[in-house]
Amino acid sequence: MADIQTLECFFETDLGEAPVALDWSACGQWLAVINVDSEVLVVDAKTGTVIKNWKAHDEGALALAWHPRLPIFASSCQNGFVKLWEIDDQHSIEQVSEIALQSESDNPWIELIKWRRDGKQLAIASGNSVKLSSAQGDVETSLPFPGGTIGAMAWHPKGSLLGIAGYGGILIYNALDPVAKPIELNWKGSLLSLSWSPDGKFIVAGCQDNTVHVWRLRSRQDSLMSGFAYKPLQLTWSNGGKRLLTGGTKDLVIWSFNRKGAEEGAPDARSFHDHAICAIGVASNGKGIASGCRNGHIAVWESVNDVKPRVSTTLDSRVEHLQWSPVKKSKTLAASSRHGSLYLFDASKFI
């Protein structure tokens, strides 16, 4: 693979400690990263400059997520607080709200926060329940998960359904009717990651036993995809939902989703990495797939049809996050490493 070119970065900085979350603003101009010490760094991707960094929480940080429409992002920590931050046109960043849930559960850690696609609600996983908050920070309702601690959650890509996963399977609530009985998708095991297909027909979960479980929402029919050497936490869709990309092995595994689902044939596998893949990112227009592994190698593939990557690069340690700018024509890729480095790459010459 000597003809694979090197991907050059145009921005690099030291985060001080390992990053726990990274996310782009909806406009694609700002990138926010938070490390284990709750220090937030916001970068202007257009100019490659740091706008601001500050300590967001008194305790260790656990999650960060930008609002899907507004210049607002949420951050959470280990002592039951979620804070909302807003950036204005002058690049001034201020806290606009605080949600206190530390007395709601024996476990105050808030490891998962997810905005509804229309931005009307923020789902906050706290212990064995999910709180739904407005964009202004007002808690509106609570959705119980009797199975115990929540392992993953995901909003339906086109509506108000929220999937909550953990030990025993998935509960799917309708945020517009939170008191209604949820849809139950039972599974005898612990679910660690969760993702809807872009058309909302399938919901898939990465499992503790190194498998991926698939359910069809309409029929509730389920199937199992196995053969992973590690826990397949990475579940990323490409080609408008026709392909599911998974981690859990050294190869980039590509499952075909047609009308009958993914179990009709063996998946494709793309070999490049010599260690397990731990991060996958797909560009918003579907052209551009990035995969990163435990020893810091990043590969960028133009599409799922490529047999080898177009470009690659190596970080200083394990790849923690890979996320493309949400702007359709943008080819900017953000990456972070276990040792606390943040990088921005421009892949426009290659894909």
Per-residue pLDDT tens digits for 145-176: 998 899 999 999 998 999 999 999 999 999 99
Q: Does the structure show a pLDDT above 80 at 260?
A: no
CATH topology of domain 13-144: Methylamine Dehydrogenase; Chain H (2.130.10)
Per-residue pLDDT tens digits for 2-24: 588 999 999 999 999 999 999 99
Residue for token pair 């689902």: 261
| Closest to 68 in 3D by CA, of 326, 301, 322, 290 | 326
Q: Does the structure show a pLDDT above 70 at 318?
A: yes
Domain at 272-351, CATH class? mainly beta
Residue 281 sits at φ, ψ, to 5 deg, of -135, 140
Sheet holding 183-196, edge to edge: 150-155, 161-174, 183-196, 202-207, 212-216, 222-225
Q: Does the structure show a pLDDT above 60 at 1?
A: no
Residue pair 74/32 in contact by the 8 Å Cβ criterion? no
pLDDT band at 227 (very low <50, low <70, confident <90, very high): confident
Task: Please report, for the chain, the start and end positions of each structural domain, with discontinuous segments joined by +.
Answer: 13-144, 272-351
Q: Does the structure show a pLDDT above 80 at 91?
A: yes
Q: Does the structure show a pLDDT above 70 at 201?
A: yes
- Residue-wise burial string across 8-47, b where 16 or more C-beta atoms lie within 10 A, e elsewhere: ebebebebebbbbbbbbbbebbbbbbbbbbbbbbbbbbee
pLDDT more than 90, % of the chain:
87
Q: Show the tokens assigned to 142.
A: 């609570």
Q: Nearest-5° angle of CA 202, CA 203, CA 206?
A: 135
CA 90 to chain centre: 28
Q: What is the mean pLDDT of the chain?
A: 94
